[in-house]
Structure 1
Amino acid sequence: MTIDELNKLLSEKKQDGIVKATIDEHGTTIFRGSENEYRMILSSVGHWQNIITISNDFFELVAPYVDTPLSEREPEKKYNIIFFKDIDDNNQFLTMVEKDDDDMIIRTNEDCDNSDKSDPDYQFTESEINKIIKKRPEFKNTIEAAMFEVGKF
Structure 2
Amino acid sequence: MQPDLDDIDLRILDVLQKSPPMSSAELADRVGLSQSPCWRRLTRLKEAGYILDQVTRLNPEKLGFRTMVFANVKLSAHGRANLAEFTEAVGRLPEVLECHPTMGPFDFLLRVVTGDVEDYRQFVFGKLLTLPTVQEINSTMSMGAEKSTTVLPIRAR
Q: By the TM > 0.5 criterion, same fold? A: no
TM-score tier, shorter chain, comes to under 0.3
Greater relative contact order structure (CA < 8 Å, 6+ sep) = 2
The normalised TM-score by structure 2 is 0.22
Higher share in strand = 1
The normalised TM-score by structure 1 is 0.22
